[in-house]
Amino acid sequence: MREQFEKLVSELRAAEGDNLLSVVVYGSALAAPEQARRSDFQWLLMTRRLGAPDLRRIRPVIRSLRAAGYSMPVFFTEQEFLDSLDVFPIEFRQMKRAYQVIYGIDPLATNLASSANLRQQIEYELRGKLLRLRSLYLPAGEKVEDLTGLMTESVVSFVQIMRPILELLGEDPPVERMLAAKRVGERLGVDMTPIVRLLKLREESRRLMEVETEDLFAAYLECLGGVIDAVDKIGA
């Protein structure tokens, strides 16, 4: 990948000159390189300014990057990045777990959102996902297969927030979903059995009975409510 990264930097510098401040690659491709696909590489591009003319100049470079199978980068000006630390604390902390600067300054070296901002975004994300889950239940709850699919798909998005909860509590979170969920339950005093069961169900082909599915959904909602209530009280 090194030659491709160097080519990307060269093309971006040719397009933007000294306006380009930093090119960072991050994500699961760096955390587990032996299993990496091009789509697993995430990108952050930082510039001094980022108006419409700048975007037009780098459009051909990004088009080539996407055509090669890589993900669309996220774009920040330097000031926007600093001003966004309190808005995207989860995302920036996830970036910091595994990243590499391939050009310019390191925006993640010292910048980190406060614990208060992290707790607020965690609660916001959890509450928003719970509201959506309830809404989606209304049509999905009419069929066992649809409700099972809703639960096994949505549980991943909730578990993604488990790792930031552990970071908020001062722990280095495990990468494995099941371990992270169980540890959150231990720290918050919440029974995570429904979430653990749904994670296992994602790997199984067993079909649930209708009553069993409804009971699991009820327990799932109760579990999520318990997590949210506990997060709300952190630092109170």
The helix/strand/coil state of 30 is: helix
Domain boundary among 84, 104, 124: 104
Q: Identify the band that residue 85 occupies on the pLDDT scale cut at 50, 70 and 90.
A: confident
226 and 126, same structural domain?
yes
Boundary (domain end) residue, out of 72, 104, 136? 104
Residue 129, in any domain of the structure: yes
pLDDT at position 3, please? 83
Q: How many angstroms separate the CA atoms of 146 and 154, rounded?
A: 12
**160 and 93 inside one domain:** no
Is residue 33 pLDDT above 70, yes or no?
no
Q: Are residues 160 and 78 in the same domain?
A: no
Q: Looking at residues 111-130, what average pLDDT do you find?
A: 88
Q: How confident is the model at residue 89 (pLDDT cuts 50, 70, 90)?
A: confident
Give 133-136 contacts, CB < 8 A, sequence gap 24+. Answer: 133/221, 133/224, 134/221
Clarify whether residues 120 and 226 are in a common domain: yes
In this structure, the answer to whether residues 15 and 100 fall within a common structural domain is yes
State the total domains in the chain: 2
**By three-state DSSP, how is residue 152 classified?**
helix
pLDDT top residue among 228 and 117: 228
- What's residue 205's pLDDT? 72
Measured between alpha carbons, how far is 161 from 122 in angstroms, rounded to an integer?
Answer: 7
Quickly tell me which residue has 């653990």 as its tokens.
196
| 12, 41 contact by CB (below 8 A) | no
110 within a domain of the structure (yes/no): no
CATH for 92: 3.30.460.10
Based on the domain organization, do 76 and 49 belong to the same domain? yes
Same domain, 120 and 228: yes
Q: Do 23 and 9 form a contact (C-beta atoms < 8 A)? A: yes
Which residues in the chain belong to E strands, given as ranges? 20-26, 42-47, 74-77, 99-104
Percent over 90 (pLDDT), the chain: 66
User: What does the block give as tokens for 3?
Assistant: 């030659």
Residue 134: give the domain boundaries: 115-233
Based on the fold, state whether residues 100 and 119 are members of the same structural domain: no
- Average pLDDT rounded to a whole number, residues 148-163: 93
Same-domain pairing of 130 and 200: yes
How confident is the model at residue 201, as a pLDDT?
92
Region 18-45 average pLDDT? 84
174: three-class secondary structure by DSSP:
coil
Strand, coil or helix: 44: strand
Q: What are the DSSP calls for 93-139, one per residue?
A: HHHHHSEEEEEE--TTSS----HHHHHHHHHHHHHHHHHHHHHHHHH
Q: At residue 35, does pLDDT exceed 80?
A: no
Whether 109 maps to a domain, the answer reads no
Residue 152 resides in a domain = yes
Q: How many CB atoms lie within 10 A of CB 114?
A: 11
Query: 44 with 21, same domain?
Result: yes
Which CATH number do you get for residue 181? 1.20.120
| 140 shares a domain with 84 | no
